[in-house]
Amino acid sequence: MPEGDTLARTAAGLRPWLVGRPVLAARAGGLGAVPRVERVLGATVTAVESVGKNLVILFDNGLELRTHLRMHGSWHRYRPGERWRRPPARARFVLEVEGSVAVCFDAPVVELFEQRAQTLHPSLSALGPDLLAEGVDIDEAVRRLRAPARAAMPIGEALLDQRVLAGIGNEVKNEALWQAACSPWTPVGALDDATLSRLVELGRDILREGAATGRRPRHVYHRSGRPCPRCGSIVRMAHQGSDLPRQAYWCPGCQGTGPQG
Ligand SMILES: [Zn+2]
């Protein structure tokens, strides 16, 4: 599943093929296709960045393409004429420059807007600190976790809230909580500042490792029924959250209690 580190690697993979090149062709497809894509024709790509779990492409005419990949979206780069690895009908956005065709498949969110509107853009402006950004403000993420509305929220849900911090997905969340020996069901308000800082720092470090190596440490994720590598208790899994329940993997031996206390 795309988390912040996956997006950073995707951006790094596309950047050398796109940046500095004028757009020769652009097409949008799928439900809610981007209107008036011809606005990017002739514009030069100036940057390809990951912002949390968004992949953003900037153009020198002030336009910005934002894609959020959620569970199944991905960006591929092909040579002109090369056969695509997913059906063309699933392409949400296609960008052609000299020597390359960049295709975004299956992304639920694809938007093209003016950069100066970004501060007004509801989802990007609301994002918490991007954990993969240089010099990310850990204290700001902790301040956002401390918002009164989140005091009763289980930490396993709060860490996935991109308005608190941007980049952590379900796998990194589970690993950070295991490394900190913290139960996903502990309410945020019951954790001290040092623990919250540590969780945010662990999330950042796991994402950095993933961005650098393409691999993430995995001590409990997808390991339910198997012994905890730290204490030998059996790792468990339960669903957490009401809107979009996510799988929480944890060790009752060293992380503590589960959903029923
Ligand atoms: Zn354990």
Secondary structure class of 4 (helix, strand, coil): helix
Active-site residue, from 53, 150, 216, 223: 53
What H or E segment, with its residue span, contains residue 157? helix 155-158
| Residue 183 CB partners (closer than 8 Å, separation 6+) | 155, 177, 250, 255, 256, 257, 258
C-alpha Rg value of the chain to the nearest Å: 20
The predicted structure's pLDDT at residue 120? 55
Distance from Cα 182 to the centre of ligand 1, integer Å: 10
Distance from Cα 169 to the centre of ligand 1, integer Å: 22
Domain boundaries, the chain: 4-125, 138-250
- Residue 101 β-bridge partners: 78, 96
Is residue 2 flagged as an active site residue? Answer: yes
Is residue 96 flagged as an active site residue? Answer: no
The predicted structure's pLDDT at residue 122? 58
Is residue 3 flagged as an active site residue? Answer: yes
Distance from Cα 227 to the centre of ligand 1, integer Å: 8
Is residue 173 flagged as an active site residue? Answer: no
3-state secondary structure 182-249: CCCCCEHHHCCHHHHHHHHHHHHHHHHHHHHHCCCCCCCCCCCCCECCCCCCECEEEEECCCCCEEEE
Q: Which CATH superfamily is domain 4-125 in?
A: MutM-like, N-terminal (3.20.190.10)
The predicted structure's pLDDT at residue 72? 86
The predicted structure's pLDDT at residue 95? 97
Confirm or reject CATH 1.10.8.50 for domain 138-250, answering yes or no. Answer: yes
pTM: predicted TM-score of the whole model, two decimal places = 0.70
Write the DSSP symbol of residue 148: G
**Hey, how many other C-beta atoms are within 10 angstroms of the C-beta on 151?**
13
Instruction: Tell me the pLDDT of the chain (261 aa) as tens digits.
Output: 678 888 899 999 999 999 999 999 999 998 778 888 989 999 999 999 988 888 999 998 889 999 998 888 999 999 999 999 999 999 999 999 999 999 999 998 899 988 765 555 656 667 889 999 889 999 999 999 999 989 999 999 999 988 899 889 899 999 999 999 999 999 999 999 999 999 999 999 999 999 888 888 999 999 999 999 999 999 999 999 877 788 999 999 999 988 875
Domain 4-125 shares a fold with domain 138-250: no
